Amino acid sequence: MQEKNRKFRIVDALLILMMVLPLVAAMVIKILTNEPDLTGGVSIAGARIFFTVPMPIQDLIITEAQINAWLILITILGACLFFTHGLKEDKRDWRQMAAEWVVEKVDGLVEASMEDIFRKSYAPFIAAILAYSACSSLMSLIGVFPPTSDVNVIAGWSILVFGLITKNKLKAGFGNYAKGFLEPIPVMLPMNILGEVATPISMTFRHFGNVMSGSVIATLIAWALQNLSHMVLGWLPGLLGDIPFLQIGLPAVLSVYFDVFSGCIQAYIFAMLTMLNISGAYPADAIAERLAKREARKAKKVKAA
C-alpha cells in the first residue's frame, strides 16, 4: 500500500513538473534571446523570429509565438492529466471534484448555446479553446510574449472553426450548400461569398485586436509614467532619482484588467462565437426535408412492390 502511494505521489510530482517546466522554459528563452533596447524609447513589436526552416514552396518561420503556443499546450496537457489522475467512483478528492466542476460548466455552456446534438461532440473542443486562449493571454503575466498577440495564431484557430462551420453546412448536401449562396436572389452571390469569408476574418481580428490593443495601451502608459517619474522626481539624490516611483500601482492595476480580465473575456467571446456559428450553420430544416423525401421514396417503393 505504501509502495502504491509512493508511486502515486511520484506521478503527481512529474505531472506538476509538466505544468511548471514549460512556463519556466518560456521565461528562460525570453531572457536568453531578449535584446536590450538601447534607444530609451518605447518598443512595441510582434513575435520575434528564432529561425527559418527551408521548404520547397515557402520557408517555415519559427517565431516566439509558436514556441510559446506549444509550451502552453504541454502545460494544459499536464494540468488535464494531473486533475484526472487517480479518478475513483467511490472516493472523490478535491482534484476530481474540480475536474467534474469544469466538465459540468462546459457542458452547460455548450448545451445552452448549441443544439443538443452538439453537446457531447463539441464540449471537449470548446473547453480546449477556452483553456488555450485564456492561458495564451495570461502568459504576459510572467513577462512572456502571449501567442494571442500574434494574428497568425488566432487566424489558425479561426480557419479551424471555419472548417467545422462548412462541415455542418455540407451535412444537407453540396447542392443545398451551393444554393445558399443564391438566396434570397441570385444577384446576392458576391455578397454571400463575401459574408462567408468574413466569418473567420472577423473572429481573428476581433480576438487579436482586443488582446493586442490592451498590451499596447498598458505599455504606453507604463512608458509615460516612467518618463513622468524621471521628470518630477529626478531631482532626488543617488539611486532614488532613477527609481520610477510613479510606475508603482497603476501598471499593476491595468495588468489585472488587460491581462487577466480582458484575456479571459476574449477567450469566452471567441468560444461563444465558435458555438453560435457552428450551431447556426447546421441546416436542421434542410436535413429534415431531405430525410422526409428519402422516407417518402422508400414508402413509395414498398407500396409499388
What does the pLDDT look like over 156-197, one tens digit per residue?
999 999 998 888 888 877 887 888 888 878 888 888 889 888
Which residues pair with residue 62 across a beta bridge? 51
Retrieve residue 89's grid coordinates: 467512483
What pLDDT is attached to residue 294? Answer: 72
HSE, CB side, 13 Å, CA atoms: give it for residue 75: 21
**Structure pTM?**
0.80
Lowest mean pLDDT among 125-129, 131-135, 211-215, 291-295: 291-295
Query: The cell 467511490 sits on which residue?
Result: 90
Distance CA 271, CA 124 (A): 12
261 DSSP 8-state letter = I
pLDDT at site 247: 60
- CA 14, 19, 25: angle at the middle one, nearest 5? 105
Q: From CA 67, how far away is CA 51, in angstroms rounded?
A: 11
Cell of 112: 445552452
Higher per-residue pLDDT: 293 or 165: 165
- Expressed in angstroms, the distance from the first to the final Cα of the chain is 70
Q: Are 24 and 74 in contact (CB under 8 A)?
A: no
Q: Report the alpha-carbon distance of residue 49 to residue 44 in Å, rounded.
A: 15
| Cα–Cα distance measured from residue 258 to residue 146, given in angstroms and rounded to the nearest whole number | 12
pLDDT tens-digit series, residues 33-78: 876 555 555 556 677 888 888 888 888 888 888 999 999 999 999 9
* Per-residue pLDDT tens over the stretch 260-286: 778 888 899 999 999 888 888 777 666
What's residue 79's pLDDT?
A: 92
The SS3 call for residue 243 is coil
Q: 52 burial class (0-12, 13-18, 19+ CB within 10 angstroms)?
A: exposed
Specify the residue for cell string 484575456. 263
Give the model confidence (pLDDT) of 216-261 as tens digits: 777 777 777 777 776 766 666 656 556 665 666 566 666 667 777 7
Give the integer Cα–Cα distance in Å for 264 and 295: 47
- Give the CA radius of gyration of the chain: 26
- Rounded CA gap, 112 and 25, in Å? 39
- Is pLDDT above 70 for 214? yes
